[in-house]
Amino acid sequence: MRLALDLDLSRLALEALGDHRGSIVLLEPATGSVLAAVSDPLTALRDPQAAFDQQREPASIAKLLTVAASYRAQHDADALVSRMKCTGVERYDGKPLWCPSPSGQLAGLDHALAVSCNTAFANLSMLIGRERLVEEYRRWGFDAPAGALLGAAGRIESLPEQPRQLADLAIGLESTNVTPLHARFWLP
């Protein structure tokens, strides 16, 4: 990790928090350098490292793990997704999983990522299966012991037992948490 803090960006990030509680971490996309890492005063008082160790759902960045698991399982994720149609909602165990909007026929992974089609990645997870997707998460440092490089940085809070839970794992919602520092290591 490269630390290249920018005082002006740090002040702007802190100002953006206003009266809200939380943390903001800004990264340089090309290099992954940390440009700002700030927390509101109360959060910083309780946990001076909050910007680096607070855990949140990884959300759509977890779709990259689903793609990696798909290719590792010998599935051509791009070809599979290009045969999918995003209707905006699909049911897993009778429970709806929504996309931001119906996007129609998908042209491939880049299109599915661009429109944030949750169901495309959930459908990939159904092909991959629970064991392979969980294994992929662990390859990326989730559930590592405290002494590991990124130990305790990313967690699978509950293993998926039902298809809807597997769908949530595929899109980084409900059952996973990650720190900003851990998420930074996913960048190229």
Structure confidence by residue, pLDDT tens digits, 1-13: 556 788 999 999 9
Decide: 176 and 155 in contact? Cβ < 8 Å: yes
Q: How confident is the model at residue 184 (pLDDT cuts 50, 70, 90)?
A: low
Residue (of 25, 71, 67) closest to 183 by Cα position? 25
Domain boundaries, the chain: 7-53, 59-177
Average pLDDT on 111-135 reads: 97
Q: How confident is the model at residue 147 (pLDDT cuts 50, 70, 90)?
A: low
The pLDDT, as a whole number, for residue 30 is: 75
Decide: 21 and 40 in contact? Cβ < 8 Å: yes
Asked whether the predicted pLDDT for residue 54 surpasses 90, the reply is no
Asked whether the predicted pLDDT for residue 188 surpasses 50, the reply is no
Q: Is the pTM of this model over 0.85?
A: no
Asked whether the predicted pLDDT for residue 108 surpasses 50, the reply is yes
Q: What percent of the chain has pLDDT over 70?
A: 90
Q: How confident is the model at residue 28 (pLDDT cuts 50, 70, 90)?
A: confident
CA-to-CA dists, residue 42 to 20, 45, 46, 83, 120, angstroms: 10, 5, 6, 49, 40
The conformation of residue 25, written as its DSSP 8-state character, comes to: E
**Which of 3.40.710.10, 3.60.15.10, 1.10.3720.10, 3.30.2130.10 would CATH assign to domain 59-177?**
3.40.710.10
CA-to-CA dists, residue 79 to 20, 33, 51, 66, 154, angstroms: 43, 34, 38, 14, 30
Asked whether the predicted pLDDT for residue 24 surpasses 90, the reply is no
Decide: 184 and 32 in contact? Cβ < 8 Å: yes
Q: 131 or 144: whose pLDDT is higher?
A: 131
The pLDDT, as a whole number, for residue 186 is: 55
The pLDDT, as a whole number, for residue 52 is: 80
